[in-house]
Structure 1
Amino acid sequence: MTRPQSAEAFVGSTIALFDQLGGAHYGEAVTQLEHALQCAHHARAAGDPDALVAAALLHDIGHLLQKQGEDAADRGLDAFHERIGAAWLAQGFGPQVTEPIRLHVEAKRYLATRETGYLESLSPASSQSLDLQGGAMTEPEADAFSASPGFEAAVRLRRYDELGKVEGVVIAPLADYRDLLISLAAQTEAAAPVAQTST
């Protein structure tokens, strides 16, 4: 599989999305960019691997890519932002980045079932979207999810997701994550098989 852009170009496109659309709110008190930066800050402060820091930063990029608008949840629509975002990011990043993103909604559904008080801790927007995303898992669903390979990273990401909604926090800007993202994308690019061209 060939990559449509170099690692640096893909990261540039990713950052450009936040520059253009990161001021949107999607029901929360903070903007998408503020939320992304807060989540990444928590992952970095916890000493998580670079891939999970990147996942925390980029986990909601699907909101910027989906075409349903900021008020999708208010209109009773699940925009499947986690799937859209993970699929788009797979153009430049490997599964260590994209899988926690793809699963972070499932992690919310899991925690709603297994963790006392979790439902009450959700922001109004997150509680509203949970209903559209399938609600709390059944016990068999929770058992299956907890046994899946991406479980731990997805739950860690989900916890950062809930923490990253505080107004007025001053933290590192998006530019501070550029080198980290390029490094991860370059690793993925280097690992990709080179397409053979016929003459």
Structure 2
Amino acid sequence: MITQTANAEGIVGLIEDIFALHGADSYLGEEVTMAEHMLQAAHLAEQQGESESVILAALLHDVGHYANALPPEVLMNGQDNRHQVSGADWLARFFPAEIVEPVRQHVAAKRYLVAVEPSYRACLSQASLDSLALQGGAMTEEEAQAFAQLPQLEAVIKVRRLDDAAKVAGMQTPDFAHYKPMLQRWVLAAG
């Protein structure tokens, strides 16, 4: 859990500390660690030519597991830790909506895609299917219609798909230092 108070000058260093201190943590039943998962998501975004904001949202999408009073393990024990909300709320002090909203909505995007794309569920890992049940399952038709109106829908869906793909054991990616200058460019001056 993040216990330090961050400011705009120190936020990138604090995020780097999270990767260093918690990066080797197990990623909720997947074959990758937390850092491998988030770095893979960012790397895949970069390989696909995505914007810096999508790359950084992919990098930070699960940081809420450490900006949360509930540790990531509670998901494995049948309780939703709502990491998407805690992560987005924490990041919103330092980064613009282009980065924060895909973080906030990446869990809802899974629920949305299960509801609107019949083949999507088959691409989910068992751990994602297990957490889907805790996170509310497929959206109702009304929920999906409302979700489809999000201003950042395209970026949200991209980050969700990157999240799903970023679970490959042994994939080589750049380390956190590669993304550090990019993060520094996006920090809000008033954070």
TM-score for the superposition, normalised by structure 2? 0.92
Identical counterparts, % of pairs: 41
Q: Which residue of structure 2 lines up, in the alignment, with residue 10 of structure 1?
A: 11
Q: Which residue of structure 2 lines up, in the alignment, with residue 108 of structure 1?
A: 110
TM superposition shift of 1:91: 2.1
2:129 maps to which of 105, 113, 127: 127
Structure 1 portions without partners, runs of 5+: 194-199
Superposed CA RMSD: 1.6
Structure 2 portions without partners, runs of 5+: none
TM superposition shift of 1:49: 1.3
Instruction: Measure, in 2, the Cα distance between the counterparts of 1:174 and 1:77.
Output: 30
* Counterparts in 2 of 1:48 and 1:163: CA distance versus 1, 3 Å: same
8 Å CA contact 2:72–2:81 kept in 1: the answer is no
Instruction: Measure, in 1, the Cα distance between the counterparts of 2:21 and 2:83.
Output: 18
Q: Secondary structure at the match of 2:73?
A: coil
Instruction: Measure, in 1, the Cα distance between the counterparts of 2:137 and 2:11.
Output: 34
TM superposition shift of 1:70: 3.7
Instruction: Measure, in 2, the Cα distance between the counterparts of 1:27 and 1:68.
Output: 17
Residue identity matched to 1:168? G
Instruction: Measure, in 2, the Cα distance between the counterparts of 1:178 and 1:70.
Output: 24
2:142 maps to which of 140, 145, 150: 140
Q: Which residue of structure 2 lines up, in the alignment, with residue 31 of structure 1?
A: 33
TM superposition shift of 1:69: 3.0
Residue identity matched to 2:13? G
8 Å CA contact 1:55–1:157 kept in 2: the answer is yes
Instruction: Measure, in 2, the Cα distance between the counterparts of 1:76 and 1:4.
Output: 31
Residue identity matched to 1:37? L
Q: Which residue of structure 2 lines up, in the alignment, with residue 96 of structure 1?
A: 98
Q: Which residue of structure 1 lines up, in the alignment, with residue 155 of structure 2?
A: 153
Instruction: Measure, in 2, the Cα distance between the counterparts of 1:4 and 1:160.
Output: 27
TM superposition shift of 1:4: 5.6
